[in-house]
Amino acid sequence: MSAREIRASVSLALIFALRMLGLFLILPVFAVHARGMPGGQDVMLVGIALGIYGLTQGLLQIPLGAASDRWGRKPVIVAGLAVFALGSFVAAAAASVIWVIVGRALQGAGAISAAVTAFIADSTRDEHRTKAMAMVGGSIGLTFALSLVVAPVLYAAMGMGGLFLATGALALAGIAVVLWLVPPAPARIEHEDAARWREVACDGQLLRLNAGIFTLHAVQMAMFVVVPVLLVEHGLALPRHWTVYLPAVLASFALMMPPLVAAERRGRMRCLLLAATALMVAAQLGLRWLAPSLLALGLWLLLFFVAFNILEASFPSLTSRLAPRSARGLALGIYNTTQAVGLAVGAAVGGWLAKHQGAGGVFAFAALAMALWFVFALGLRELPLKGGRAGGAVGEPAAR
C-alpha cells in the first residue's frame, strides 16, 4: 500500500472506531442504569433505546450513500458525525428512557458507514482494498472488546450522562479527523446516470454479497444472544467475559491476515470467501456439539472470529469493486442497509430460538444459514486483480 492509501485507510478506520466506541460504551451498562429512570421498568422501552439507532441507521444508509456520490464523501461524513454528536448530547440530558430513545435515534441518523467505506474504496487500489476494509473491521472488533473493559469503569466514574457526553465528544473528534487527517477525496466521477438505482439494486453479484452480509450479521446477533449465558454457565462472571473476547479477537486478526493477503495477491478472493464460510459452519457446529469446557468454547469462538473478520473485510471490498465508481455510495448504502436488517432479524430469531430451542437451536440455525449462503455464493465470479472494475463492475464493459 502507498503512503496515501495507508493514511486514508487508517484515518477512516479511526473515524469508524470513534463512532462505534460511542455506540458500544452504552451497551454493557445501560440496561442496569435504566432501572432508575422513568420508563426504565419497561423492558421493551429499554430494548428500543438500545436498538433504535440500528433502525434509523438502516433507513438512512441508502440515501446518505447516494448523497455522497452526488455531493462528495467528506461533507456527508461531517454532517453525519454532527448529527450523531447531537443525538449523544440529547441522550446525555435525558431525564427518561423516552428521551434516550430520541437521542439514540438521532445517533443512528448519522448513518455514515456507506460514505466511509465508499471513501476507502475511492482511495485504494483493488489489490489493497480488502486490507483497507480489514482495518475498519479490526477497529470495530477492538472497539467492541475495549468497550467491554472500560464501560463499567467509566460509568462508575462519570455516570450515564457522562458516557453520552463522551460519545458526543468522540464524534466531534471524528469531524476533526475528517477535516485534518483524511486525505482529499479523489475526483468525483460525473455520469449522466450516476445513480443507476435499478441496475445496482438488481445485479446478481451484488445481491449475493448483500445476502452474505445479511446472513453474517444475523448469525452474529443470534449467537450473542446465547454466548454470554454459556460463558456464565462455564463459570466466567460477566465482568470477566472480556478475558475470552479480547484474546479471541486479537488472535483472529493475526490468523486472518496471511490468507487475506495471499488471496488478494493471487486473485483468489472467491475461494477465500467460500473457505471462510465453511469455517464459519464448522465453528457453529462445534459450538453446538463440541464445547464441553470454557477452553473449548473459547477455541470455537476464535475460529468464529477468524471466519467473521475475513468475511467482514471481504464483502465491502468486493461490493466496491463490482459497483460502478459513480454509484459506489449507493451500492454500499444498500449493502449497509442489508447489514442493519440482518442485525435486527438475527437478534429476533436468536431470541426466539433461545427461548424455545436453547443455545443448541441457535447454533444449528447459524450453521444452516451460513451453509445456505455458501450454496448461494457458488455463483460468485472471481474478479481480476487489476484493471479497476474490469470484468466486474455493474453496467461497465470488461477491459480487453
Do 280 and 304 touch, CB atoms closer than 8 A? yes
213 shares a domain with 167 = no
HSE-up of residue 240 (Cα within 13 Å, Cβ side): 8
230 shares a domain with 87 = no
Q: Is residue 190 part of a domain?
A: no
**Cα distances (angstroms) measured from residue 235 to each of 229, 300, 301:** 10, 17, 16
Where do runs of H (alpha helix) occur along the chain?
A: 3-24, 30-33, 43-71, 73-92, 97-109, 113-123, 126-180, 197-202, 204-233, 242-266, 269-289, 294-322, 328-356, 358-377
Q: 190: exposed, middle or buried (C-beta count within 10 Å: 0-12, 13-18, 19+)?
A: exposed
Q: Residue 53: its pLDDT value, please?
A: 76
123 shares a domain with 222 = no
User: CA-CA distance, 305 to 44, in Å (whole number)?
Assistant: 30
134 shares a domain with 24 = yes
User: CA-CA distance, 164 to 25, in Å (whole number)?
Assistant: 9
Q: Residue 282: its pLDDT value, please?
A: 96
Distance, CA of 345 to chain centre:
15
Q: Is residue 369 part of a domain?
A: yes
In order along the chain (400 residues), what is the average pLDDT of each group of 10 residues?
Answer: 78 78 71 74 70 77 79 87 93 88 88 80 73 71 72 80 88 87 67 57 82 89 78 80 81 86 82 93 93 89 90 81 73 80 77 82 93 91 55 36
Residue that has been written with the C-alpha cell 462472571 in this structure? 237
Q: Residue 392: its pLDDT value, please?
A: 39
172 shares a domain with 41 = yes
157 shares a domain with 27 = yes
Please give the residue range of the domain that contains residue 52: 1-183
299 shares a domain with 372 = yes
In total, how many domains does the chain have? 2
303 shares a domain with 166 = no
CB within 8 Å of 189: residues ≥ 6 apart: 324, 325, 326
The predicted model scores a pTM of 0.72
Q: Which residues of 141-161 are buried (b: 16+ CB within 10 A; e: fewer)?
A: bbbbbbbbbbbeebbeeeebe
Backbone φ and ψ for 249, nearest 5 degrees, come out as -65, -45
78 shares a domain with 1 = yes
Q: Show which of 135, 155, 183 is a domain's final residue.
A: 183
> Which CATH number goes with the domain that contains 244?
1.20.1250.20
- Look up residue 248 and give its amino acid: A
Cell output for 253: 486478526
Q: Show which of 148, 183, 218 is a domain's final residue.
A: 183
Q: Show which of 132, 149, 183 is a domain's final residue.
A: 183
Dihedral of the alpha carbons of 91, 57, 20, 314, in degrees to the nearest 10 = 170
Q: Residue 391: its pLDDT value, please?
A: 37
User: CA-CA distance, 361 to 148, in Å (whole number)?
Assistant: 26
